[in-house]
Amino acid sequence: MSLTPTGQLFGNDLVLTRTFRAPAADVWASLTDTDRTARWFGPWKGDAAPGRTIEVQMVHEDGQPWMEMTIDACEPQRRLALSAVDEQGSWLLDMVLTESGGVTELRFTQHLADTAAVGDLGPGWEFYLDALVAAREDRPAPRFEDYYPAMKDHFDAQR
């Protein structure tokens, strides 16, 4: 299978977008409801509120580890910002929804400290966002092997 990468690097921001024929409230639920996030990324648990920390299970990663994430901003149906620190470094994620005429665009941004690993990160986020699309359309999840290393050069070339 040959997929076309969509992500772009703007300075140190890795930006990917997906468009849904659905209201923002429905797409928001796909990003925030644990039963729905479990279908494409992983379930989460905890007291979800700005400034609070939740635990998110990474179901597509080896060992399906749990990761602590802080909710930095939560503006229902518009913006969710999360951050985490793990052995690979800091993760600063920002998801913004814009609805127009029953179509909602998700603009996903990872704010990077530097772009050295963008060739590894970009294909991963393409995979996860396509998994979101598949879950919303009740289709089988994509295969990570179709994304990496096939998309690595696209992202590395933007550094």
Instruction: Give the per-residue pLDDT at 89.
Output: 81
Instruction: Give the per-residue pLDDT at 2.
Output: 61
Instruction: Give the per-residue pLDDT at 1.
Output: 53
Average pLDDT of span 62-68:
94
Model confidence, pTM: 0.96
Average pLDDT of span 53-57:
97
Q: Where are the domains of the chain?
A: 8-156
Instruction: Give the per-residue pLDDT at 100.
Output: 98
Q: How far apart are CA 52 and CA 155, in angstroms?
A: 32
Burial 31-51 (b: 16+ CB within 10 A, else e): bbeeebbebbbbbbeeeeeee
What is the per-residue pLDDT across 6-18, written as a single tens digit (0 to 9) for each? 999 999 999 999 9
What is the per-residue pLDDT across 17-37, written as a single tens digit (0 to 9) for each? 999 999 999 999 999 999 999
Instruction: Give the per-residue pLDDT at 7.
Output: 97
Instruction: State the fold for domain 8-156.
Output: Alpha-D-Glucose-1,6-Bisphosphate; Chain A, domain 4 (3.30.530)
Please state the separation of Cα 130 from the chain's center in Å. Answer: 9
Average pLDDT of span 115-125:
97
**pLDDT beyond 80 at 4:** yes
What is the per-residue pLDDT across 71-111, written as a single tens digit (0 to 9) for each? 999 999 999 999 999 887 889 999 999 999 999 999 999 99
The amino acid at residue 71 is I
What is the per-residue pLDDT across 125-152, written as a single tens digit (0 to 9) for each? 999 999 999 999 999 999 999 999 999 9
